[in-house]
A and B are shown apart, each in its own frame.
Chain A
Amino acid sequence: MPYPFVIAGRGHTIMLNIILLALKSLWRDWRAAEWLLVCFALFIAIAATTSIHFYTDRIMRGLDKQGARLLGGELVISSPSPLPVAWEQKAREMKLRTAQVWSYLSVVSSKNQKSSNAMQLVSLQAVSDNYPLSDVTPNLPDPHTIWVEPRLLPLLSIEMNDELVIGAATFQVKKLLTSDLDTLSSGFIIAPRAMMRLADVPATQTVLPGSRVDYRLLLVGDASALKNFKSWITPLLSPSQKLIDTHSQQFALQNIMQNTENYLQLILLVCLLLSGVAISLSIQQYVRRHYAQIALWRCLGASHKQILTVFILQLIIIASIIGVIGIVMGYVAQEAYAYLFQDFIRFELPASGFSPILLGFITSNIILFAFSYPILSELPRTSPLYLWRNEINLSVLSTSTPLMISLSCMVLFILWFMNFSLLSIYFFLGLFLSIVFLYGVSLIIISILRVAVNHSEGSIRRGISQIVQYPFSFSLQFIGLNLILVAIIISACIRSNMINNWKQSLPETSPNFFAINIDKSDITRLSQFFQNQHIDIEGIYPMVRGRLIALNGQSVLSAVPAEAKNNNALHRELNLSWMWNFPSDNKIVKGPTWTLRDRNKALVSVEYGLANDLHLKLGDELTFQIGERKIDAVIMNFRTLVWSSIHPNFFMIFPPGLLDNFPTTFITSFHLDNKQKIILNDIVKIFPNITIIDMANVLLQIQNLVSKIIAAMQYLFIFALGLSILIFIASLQTTMDERQKTYSLLRILGAERHYIRRSLIVEFILLFMLISVTAMILGLLSVYLLEINIFNQ
Chain B
Amino acid sequence: MQPQASTFLRVEHLNKKVPSGDSKITILNDVNLNVKEGESVAILGTSGSGKTTLLSLLAGLDLPTSGDVYLMDHHLNIMDEEQRAQVRRNHVGFIFQSFQLLPTLTALENVMLPLEIRYIKHQRCKIEATEWLNKVGLGKRLAHYPAQLSGGEQQRVAIARAFINAPKIIFSDEMTGNLDTHTGELITDILFSLNQEQKTTLLLVTHDASLAARCHTRLLLQEGVIQSC
Residues of A in contact with B (beta carbons under 8 Å apart)? 3-8, 14, 17-18, 20-21, 24, 28-29, 31-32, 34, 292-293, 296-306, 383-385, 387-388
Contact = CB atoms under 8 A, between A and B. Distances in A.
Given A32-B104, A292-B100, A300-B113, A388 B90 contact: no
B119 A28 contact: no
B96 A8 contact: no
A300 B122 CA distance: 18
B120 interface: yes
A29 B104 contact: yes
B89 A388 contact: no
A384 B120 CA distance: 22
B181 to A, nearest CB: 24
A21 B117 CA distance: 8
B122 A20 contact: yes
B155 interface: no
B165 A297 contact: no
A303 B86 contact: yes
B135 interface: no
Given A31-B104, A296-B100, A385-B56, A301 B88 contact: yes
The 7 A-B pairs of least Cβ separation, nearest first, read: A301-B89, A32-B104, A17-B119, A301-B88, A3-B166, A384-B61, A302-B117
B94 interface: yes
Interface in B49-93: 52, 56, 59, 61-62, 81-82, 85-90, 92
B104 A305 contact: no
A5 B122 CA distance: 12
Interface in B10-53: 52
Contact of A24 (B61, B96, B122, B173): B122
A298 B85 contact: yes
A290 B90 CA distance: 24
Contacts of B224: none
The winner among B82, B92, B117 for most chain A CB atoms within 10 A is B117
B119 A303 contact: no
Contacts of B82: 303-305
Contacts of A296: 100, 102, 113
B85 A14 contact: no
The winner among A28, A297, A301, A387 for most chain B CB atoms within 10 A is A301
Contact of B104 (A34, A297, A300, A385): A34
Given A5-B165, A300-B94, A28 B117 contact: no
Interface of B: 52, 56, 59, 61-62, 81-82, 85-90, 92, 94, 96, 100, 102-105, 109, 113-120, 122, 124, 165-166, 173
B117 A297 contact: yes
B61 A299 contact: yes
16 contacts: A4-B166, A5-B115, A6-B118, A7-B118, A14-B119, A18-B119, A28-B104, A28-B105, A31-B104, A296-B102, A301-B85, A301-B89, A301-B117, A303-B82, A385-B62, A388-B56
Given A21-B119, A28-B105, A32-B103, 10 more contacts: A20-B122, A28-B109, A299-B94, A300-B113, A301-B90, A303-B86, A383-B62, A385-B56, A385-B61, A387-B96
Contact of B88 (A299, A304, A385): A299
Contact of A7 (B102, B109, B119): B119
Contact of B120 (A5, A18, A28): A5
Contacts of B86: 301, 303
B89 to A, nearest CB: 2
Contacts of A384: 56, 61
Nearest to B168: A3
Nearest to B116: A21
Given A385-B62, A387-B100, A304 B81 contact: yes
Nearest to A21: B116
A292 B115 CA distance: 19
A17 B124 CA distance: 13
A8 B119 CA distance: 8
Contacts of B105: 28
Contacts of A300: 88-89, 94, 113-114, 117
A302 B85 contact: yes
A300 B86 CA distance: 9
B150 to A, nearest CB: 20
A28 B112 CA distance: 13
A303 B92 CA distance: 14
A516 B186 CA distance: 107
A727 to B, nearest CB: 25
B59 to A, nearest CB: 8
B111 to A, nearest CB: 11
Contacts of A14: 119
Given A3-B165, A28-B104, A303 B85 contact: yes
